[in-house]
């Protein structure tokens, strides 16, 4: 056998150890089998580097056009941003932006008195936020202020308003560097009241970041019949306080990994992130990564053009239908959910969630668990079919002898 063939066959052996989405046993992932067209796109763009955009002018154009299309979806014709590695990088970028704006405002004495600028930037962020924000905290020494959750597992906006007003009245000036809201939280899929958070943010001149890494490719396509009365589904740039949004093509956007999106309200924000890069074709760089693939930009562009609104609406509809189906079937079999599912995520109450998760794994089914409450967590991604859901319920029943 020639050497390349030998290596490829060895690689295949390793690859065969991986689980496969199409087998229908991955229930805890926010990623899915990418759309088949992306295989062709990967081949075409595999050597591109958006870290040096002057060399890859076409790929850079695709990134800009992808951002414009996503901006339109999020009601912002002036959107600016990048297709980066994923939600983690997007959230860290937003925190870096808020931290830098805060430092610049202090320098410019926008908020006056020196003694009120503390070393760390205060960010108000819900308990339900993804752990990528804890990474930002580590990197930038942020002071994360955690409002309590409402009974619907959303950030308590009354608490946020009181906290902001109290802090400002105590200091006589604003010492809060940012607010974060989640549109589709990782564990339960809940959506914070971004409209109210936006009002608080706008009135007090505090930037608001929305983490819609998961929900960004779901909420805009959700039919009215799925909307629950205890949640407000507005989350995008149509709300004045929203300055940045994380929205990931490699989750419900059907793009292969890595494709994350960070979208800014406008280009003005770039200057707070720019670092001089004198030896590149573009001499200022704002992204965290330097050398970075253009594949994500190209697959995102391709899928937005191919699927359009109708395609994503169909995917969302199918996932929500399956979510309703599984919820009903679980209830018929005596299981309870933590909340009425808001998006295509179901949390099943279980005092021994970790133990159940282990037993399911022994049966070849992979679910995850919640951190905020004792529950199993199921994400209904496009790779899951009705028969896979039946299999999950049957196995759960056997484990629990229900």
Structure tokens at 19: 């689980």
CA pair distance 309, 242, nearest whole angstrom = 23
Give yes or no for residue 261 binding ligand 0PR (CB under 6 A). Answer: no
Compare residues 117 and 220 and give the one whose CB is closer to ligand 0PR.
220
Give yes or no for residue 186 binding ligand 0PR (CB under 6 A). Answer: yes
- Under rule CB under 6 A, which residues in 265-284 are in contact with ligand 0PR? none
Give yes or no for residue 287 binding ligand 0PR (CB under 6 A). Answer: no
Q: Tell me how many residues contact ligand 0PR (CB under 6 A).
A: 17
Among 66, 88, 174, 356, binds ligand 0PR (CB under 6 A): 88
- Under rule CB under 6 A, which residues in 163-182 are in contact with ligand 0PR? 182
Among 100, 248, 330, 341, binds ligand 0PR (CB under 6 A): 248
| Shortest spacing between CB 85 and ligand 0PR, in angstroms | 7
CB neighbour list of residue 228: distance below 8 Å, 6 or more residues apart: 340, 342
Measured in whole angstroms, the distance separating CA 194 from the mean position of its chain's CA atoms is 15
Give yes or no for residue 260 binding ligand 0PR (CB under 6 A). Answer: yes
Give yes or no for residue 190 binding ligand 0PR (CB under 6 A). Answer: no
Among 51, 71, 86, 181, binds ligand 0PR (CB under 6 A): 86
CA pair distance 357, 350, nearest whole angstrom = 10
Are 392 and 379 in contact, with CB atoms under 8 Å apart?
no
CA pair distance 180, 123, nearest whole angstrom = 7
| Shortest spacing between CB 100 and ligand 0PR, in angstroms | 21
Among 27, 31, 181, 265, binds ligand 0PR (CB under 6 A): 31
176-207: b (≥16 Cβ within 10 Å) or e: bbbbbbbbbbbbbbbbbbbbbbbbbbbebebb
Structure tokens at 246: 């994380």
3-state secondary structure of 211: strand
- Binding residues (CB under 6 A) for ligand 0PR: these are 29-31, 86-88, 91, 130, 132, 182, 185-186, 211, 213-214, 248, 260
């Amino acid at each position: 056998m020639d050497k390349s063939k030998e290596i490829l066959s060895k690689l295949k052996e390793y690859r065969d150890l991986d689980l496969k989405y199409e087998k229908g046993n991955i229930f805890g992932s926010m990623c899915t089998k990418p759309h088949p067209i992306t295989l062709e796109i990967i081949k075409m763009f595999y050597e591109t580097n958006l870290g040096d955009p002057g060399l890859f002018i076409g790929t850079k154009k695709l990134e800009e056009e992808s951002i414009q299309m996503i901006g339109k979806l999020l009601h912002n014709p002036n959107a600016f941003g990048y297709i980066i590695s994923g939600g983690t990088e997007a959230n860290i970028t937003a925190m870096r932006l808020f931290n830098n704006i805060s430092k610049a405002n202090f320098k410019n004495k926008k908020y006056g008195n020196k003694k009120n600028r503390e070393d760390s930037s205060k960010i108000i962020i819900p308990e339900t936020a993804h752990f990528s924000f804890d990474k930002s905290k580590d990197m930038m020494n942020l002071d994360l202020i955690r409002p309590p959750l409402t009974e619907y597992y959303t950030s308590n906006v009354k608490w946020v308003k009181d906290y902001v007003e109290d802090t400002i009245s105590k200091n006589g000036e604003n010492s809060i560097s940012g607010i974060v809201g989640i549109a589709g939280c990782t564990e339960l899929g809940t959506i914070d009241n971004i409209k109210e958070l936006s009002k608080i943010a706008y009135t007090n001149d505090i930037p608001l970041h929305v983490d819609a890494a998961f929900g960004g490719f779901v909420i805009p396509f959700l039919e009215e019949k799925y909307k629950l009365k205890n949640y407000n589904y507005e989350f995008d740039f149509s709300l004045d306080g929203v300055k940045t949004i994380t929205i990931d093509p490699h989750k419900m956007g059907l793009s292969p990994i890595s494709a994350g999106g960070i979208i800014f309200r406008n280009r003005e924000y770039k200057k707070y992130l720019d670092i001089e890069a004198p030896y590149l074709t573009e001499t200022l760089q704002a992204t965290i990564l330097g050398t970075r693939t253009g594949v994500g930009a190209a697959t995102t562009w391709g899928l937005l053009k191919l699927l359009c609104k109708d395609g994503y609406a169909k995917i969302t509809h199918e996932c929500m239908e399956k979510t309703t189906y599984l919820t009903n079937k679980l209830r018929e079999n005596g299981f309870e959910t933590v909340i009425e599912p808001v998006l295509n995520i179901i949390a099943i109450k279980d005092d021994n969630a970790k133990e159940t998760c282990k037993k399911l794994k022994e049966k070849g089914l992979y679910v995850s668990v919640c951190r905020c409450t004792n529950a199993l967590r199921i994400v209904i991604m496009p790779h899951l079919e009705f028969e896979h859901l039946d299999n999950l319920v049957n196995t759960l029943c056997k484990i629990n002898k229900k």
